Structure 1
């Protein structure tokens, strides 16, 4: 029988069949084609008021694979910027390059949580810059500049790791 997924949450859902009736759905019945989503057209068989077997149409499976690929591509640039920030200890220019990239792509995020990462990266750059600029004269006057630079880099690395973790979990960073 053909049907449409009308609800899906936490591995359970509801399918409305071509006969107009609704049937229970669990993730255990997915057979092939990939993970279904709300609104997908599917083929299924019924046993006891519940979906027994479910087959997602090939184009639906292709759409799911494409969405996962786009999600990975979308998170690559913020991950690269975090990498630039984390390696700024070796080459300070990488932090500037990361900030330029974050400014350039700040409004290109398709979701709010992704835009929060660009904003976080830009703020991190502007909070770090005065500390580095203060370290230059301190290096010549009382030799505390290198310590300030080291502490600032450690702070940047910790903040970058926090951002990376939130990015991997696909949630906003604060």
Structure 2
């Protein structure tokens, strides 16, 4: 009944994928929250939950690890360019991370599964 548009309110849905998205966005203020988020995604992925949440857990786990890969690549590029690329590459990674978190947050508010979970972009 919660998924029925006629009975839903415009209240903010505090479901587990929403919590993960907020933890990821909170990492811009306190970096450790992304680590907490990925740990929770692994834990919650193994528990019983509505089917639409499956794609969110996979998406958040992939976002974390792909973000680590992008950061390592950015560090190498920054080292090669003697720091010149840092002003371009790291902000792009932050934008990518934020867009993925917001995309999941919006879908979680509608209680819908995510599309293109396997993508390295958005």
- Aligned residue for 1:110, secondary structure, equals coil
Alignment equivalent of 1:126, drawn from 61, 65, 76: 65
Which structure 2 residue ranges, 5 or more long, are not aligned? 8-12, 116-122
2:96 matched residue in structure 1: 155
Aligned equivalents of 1:86, 1:117: Cα separation in 2: 15
Establish whether residue 103 from structure 1 lines up as the match of residue 103 from structure 2. no
Larger C-alpha radius of gyration, 1 or 2?
Answer: 1
Aligned equivalents of 2:61, 2:103: Cα separation in 1: 15
- Aligned residue for 1:115, secondary structure, equals helix
The one-character-per-residue Cα deviations of 1:86-131 (angstroms, maximum 9, x if unpaired) are 2323333222221111011112242110122111111111221111
Would you tell me which structure has more strand in proportion to its own residues?
A: 1
Which structure 1 residue ranges, 5 or more long, are not aligned? 1-8, 12-34, 36-71
Preserved contact between residue 95 and residue 125 of structure 1 (Cα < 8 Å)? yes
Question: What value does the CA root-mean-square deviation take over the aligned residues?
Answer: 2.4
Cα distance change, pair 160–109 in 1 and its aligned pair in 2 (3 A): farther
- How is 1:20-169 mapped onto 2 (pairs within 5 angstroms)? 75=15, 77-142=16-81, 143=83, 144-169=85-110
- How is 1:2-21 mapped onto 2 (pairs within 5 angstroms)? none
1:133, distance to aligned residue in structure 2 (A): 1.4
Aligned equivalents of 1:157, 1:117: Cα separation in 2: 15
What is the TM-score when the length of structure 2 is the normalising length? 0.72
1:83, distance to aligned residue in structure 2 (A): 1.3
What is the TM-score when the length of structure 1 is the normalising length? 0.53
